[in-house]
């Protein structure tokens, strides 16, 4: 699956993390895999405590890091795609729908 404007995303609850400077060091309880998120990655991860739509995430990143437009959307999409592939985040049901 690829991150797109039609999805909302939320953290996978099986990951735990510890701040380390501006980074976040994380481990998957399910797989034992370790991850190190930089400042921007940590910012996105922390914003996904509750479900967020792709557009919301882009807006938050754009405001926090003073970037806008297509470059921001492409960077956010690439990061979300990697997080989805690693199982770090998952898609969340849209409001008014139920999970299958």
The Cα diameter of the chain in Å comes to 39
**DSSP one-letter string for 35-64:** EEE-HHHHHHHHHTTS-EEHHHHHHHHHHH
The encoded tokens of residue 25 equal 């060091």
Q: What is the pLDDT of residue 4?
A: 63
Q: What is the pLDDT of residue 95?
A: 56
Would you kindly state where each structural domain of the chain is located, as residue ranges? 8-87
First-to-last C-alpha distance (Å) of the chain = 16
- Reading the chain (100 residues) residue by residue, the pLDDT tens digits are 566 667 899 999 999 999 999 999 999 999 999 999 999 999 999 999 999 999 999 999 999 999 988 999 999 999 999 999 999 999 987 654 444 4
């Amino acid at each position: 699956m690829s991150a797109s404007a039609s999805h909302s995303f939320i953290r996978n609850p099986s990951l735990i993390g510890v701040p380390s400077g501006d980074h976040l060091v994380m481990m998957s309880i399910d797989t034992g895999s370790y991850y190190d998120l930089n400042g921007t990655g940590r910012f996105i991860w922390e914003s996904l405590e509750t479900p967020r739509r792709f557009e919301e995430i882009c807006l938050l990143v754009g405001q926090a890091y003073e970037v806008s437009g297509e470059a921001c959307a492409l960077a956010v999409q690439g990061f979300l795609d990697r997080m989805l592939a690693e199982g770090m985040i998952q898609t969340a049901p849209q409001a008014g729908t139920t999970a299958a």
